[in-house]
A and B are shown apart, each in its own frame.
Chain A
């Protein structure tokens, strides 16, 4: 076949009527145009920047930032550099996106399954949730959570305190923070070992079941090990940490850990909004599995829960994962709406304050775009790996 095609081509030769020649010519022409376009944009920009005496390059990243950021997971002071401020913003973005992705996926899954429930009330509640959440613009939802729900909370002096040590006010949520003592390392090792043991039980049970068909309550055992062993260690070895209780001082609470309302509002908005879309994707995925599969499982005597877990969902995942990936990407990108409610994410800190103070719009915006592109590509890559695992194994 291939040999014949090559012979044909040689016969037709370098003529316009030869489709191979035409396609190469078109492609080369396109490449030349694209390269020229890129070159034109770059040189024009450079010339204009030079003409306008606007500073260029990434040298500013080492300069002192000089401004404060309200939430930072890494040490940051006003003396830190713009590069450090960039990192702070990036980590804040990753934090809200990462937690949001986990929560939205879990919630979306439950709501999606609930929509298909035979229980009328459950399925209608899920339906109402999906329709309300996905039909209201995300920005409005953020405003709702931030301005209507979290803002009217009392001032720090009159904080709500549902549990001793936990305070709720318009500056956020303050909870006691653990302070690790001497026995922490021992406790950590115990936790780690119990996790490994739990995983080993699961693997052993699966192997045994494929070999002998005998079922072992693996999950229950694993959870008991993971929770029980550390609990015993706590009981006999003493508490692994002490709690640092927040105390009201001056303008607010000192000590403890706090979540600022901007973070809470953004996380709530992103999670609830994206979960509605994920729920629909999950529902579509489950519906895509032929009802015959369920019936067959029931005929074999599998209970409803196990039917869902062992028969339906593994097949549904093939349909669910690709669109789920885009929803997770959307969530990450939507986190840039943070700027509207003063959460110090990458866009607010870097493409906002830093851009304004350095005036280097091209560098700052290009870097910001590159960051979102990288986060999205990495997320896609991981999801594609997962997709390859759940895809139909063709033989």
Chain B
């Protein structure tokens, strides 16, 4: 009995020794009780500088930005047959890459489904999430993430079969609705039908294409997603003229880019890249005239383009950061028209997304 006890003691000592040897690898203090308090403080304080903080430095070191985008949503993020991505969400990421590297192609796009997008950002797999993501309070406060602004003001609508005779959302009482799992649409549908006292059934598919196929096969009476998305998916249908987008918009969907909490500089870069795009449009700076505008007399334009002040420097970029963005991508209006505007297949009006002084609500704080 005594022998066994001594052997056990020896084993524990040996175990502790092994653990001690492994410690430098695990980069964490050993299991000794009196160190516990120091551990938490050490990990709690030391880590933010390396893991969460300084995303910019890591992007620079890597030589490219990793941007989480939609797997395929025309106008927002969609790869063409050569694998080149395009869309508003894609161009926003390119704008950040242009601001950092002066090269809009130094972005690696990581297509994500709705369900996995936040985990990918939390875990550091991507630097920024630009995937038509609705800004909601719970997402902003509970996920350890921050929204950088609104790239596109959207709202949720319904797509129905024309021959079903449905003309308004009110006709959908008792209908089966197809949607994608892990989106705000699931909740909005529930809210809408509940508040109107309608009955409904909802089928949530993992992939958007599956939800759409189910709707196409009449498994569902209606397909629902953001109105901009509806215009895009209607084009994907075999015969778009047989489908109808209902006039009702049942929710507010401010879509915007998301970054991890704990890196204020990176959040500033994300936020002000967006504001720079909008301010450029307001000040009439376009990809065509940005070089001439550098010598503009307007102090507002000069501040925007780095002629006055050191605004780029303040967020860890060069002072001509906006010039780089506009040169490669144009201003917000150009990005909008190129990807979803009236001359594209989607043919979406500016509407809410027009500038504040042109009837919309796009408004960016000034650079000064």
Q: Given the known A-B contacts A53-B261, A70-B202, are A358 and B11 also in contact in the complex, defined by CB atoms under 8 Å? A: no
| Bound form: Cα–Cα A102–B43 in Å | 52
B-side contacts of A259, CB under 8 Å:
none
Residues of B32-63 whose CB lies within 8 A of A: 39-40, 43-44, 47-48, 51-52
Contact B202 A53 (CB under 8 A): no
Residues 323-359 of chain A: 1 if any B CB is under 8 Å from the residue's CB, otherwise 0? 0000000000000000110101000100011011111
Residues of A within 8 A of B43 (CB): 43-44, 47, 51
Q: Tell me if B203 counts as interface (CB < 8 A to partner A).
A: yes
* Complex partner residue of A51 from B19, B31, B44, B183, CB under 8 angstroms: B44
State in angstroms the CA–CA spacing of A36 and B15 once bound together: 9
B241 at the interface (CB under 8 A from A): no
Inter-chain contacts of B7 with A (CB < 8 A): 14, 20-21, 24-25, 28
A339 to B181, CA, bound (A): 10
Give the distance in Å from the alpha carbon of A344 to the alpha carbon of B203 in the complex. Answer: 8
Interface check B358, CB cutoff 8 A: no
Q: For chain A, which range describes its interface: under 10, 10 to 19, 20 to 34, or 35 or more residues?
A: 35 or more
Chain B: minimal CB distance from A88 (Å): 13
User: How many Å lie between the Cα of A251 and that of B193 in the bound state?
Assistant: 15
Number of A-B contacts (CB under 8 A): 181
Contact A67 B217 (CB under 8 A): no
Whether B176 sits at the interface, judged by CB under 8 Å, is yes
Contact A28 B219 (CB under 8 A): no
Q: Which residues of B contact A340 (CB under 8 A)?
A: 206
| Cβ-defined contact, B204 with A54, below 8 A | no
**Complex partner residue of B44 from A28, A47, A251, A353, CB under 8 angstroms:** A47
Instruction: Say yes or no: is B221 at the interface (Cβ < 8 Å to chain A).
Output: yes
Any B CB within 8 A of the CB of A39? yes
B218 interface residue per 8 A CB criterion: yes
The yes or no answer to A55 lying at the interface (CB within 8 A) is yes
Which of A27, A33, A359 has a CB less than 8 Å from the CB of B18?
A33
A250 at the interface (CB under 8 A from B): yes
Considering the chains assembled together, what is the distance between the CA atoms of A383 and B219 in angstroms?
39
B357 contacts A by Cβ under 8 Å: no
Check if A13 is an interface residue, CB within 8 A of chain B.
yes
Instruction: Please state if A359 and B143 are interface contacts (CB–CB under 8 Å).
Output: yes
Complex Cα–Cα for A39 and B33 (A): 12
Chain A residue numbers with a CB within 8 Å of B214 are: 151, 342
For B, the interface residue count at a CB cutoff of 8 angstroms equals 66
Partner of A348, one of B30, B47, B181, B221: B181
- When C-beta atoms are compared, the residue in chain A nearest to B30 turns out to be A36
On chain B, the residues within 8 Å of A261 by CB distance are 219
Decide: B204 and A252 in contact? CB cutoff 8 A. Answer: no
**Interface pair B262/A47, CB less than 8 Å apart:** no
B200 within 8 A of A: yes
Q: How far is the CA of A112 from the CA of B285 in the complex (A)?
A: 77
Q: Interface 1/0s, chain A 357-371, versus B by CB < 8 A?
A: 111010000000000
> In whole Å, how far is A82's beta carbon from the nearest beta carbon of chain B?
12
User: Which one of A26, A39, A353, A359 contacts B31 once the chains associate, using CB atoms below 8 Å?
Assistant: A39
Please, how many angstroms separate the alpha-carbon atoms of A66 and B183 in the complex? 12
Q: Are B144 and A52 in contact (CB under 8 A)?
A: yes
Q: Decide if B10 touches A356 in the complex (CB within 8 Å).
A: no
Residues of B within 8 A of A43 (CB): 28, 39-40, 43
> Would you give 9 A-B contacts (Cβ < 8 Å), ordered by A?
A32-B12, A32-B16, A32-B18, A36-B15, A66-B191, A68-B200, A344-B204, A356-B118, A359-B138
> 7 smallest A-B Cβ distances: which pairs?
A28-B11, A32-B15, A356-B182, A52-B144, A54-B144, A359-B143, A24-B7
- Other contacts beyond A52-B122, A52-B260, A70-B176: 11, CB < 8 A: A25-B11, A44-B43, A47-B40, A48-B47, A53-B144, A53-B262, A54-B142, A170-B219, A348-B206, A356-B183, A358-B138
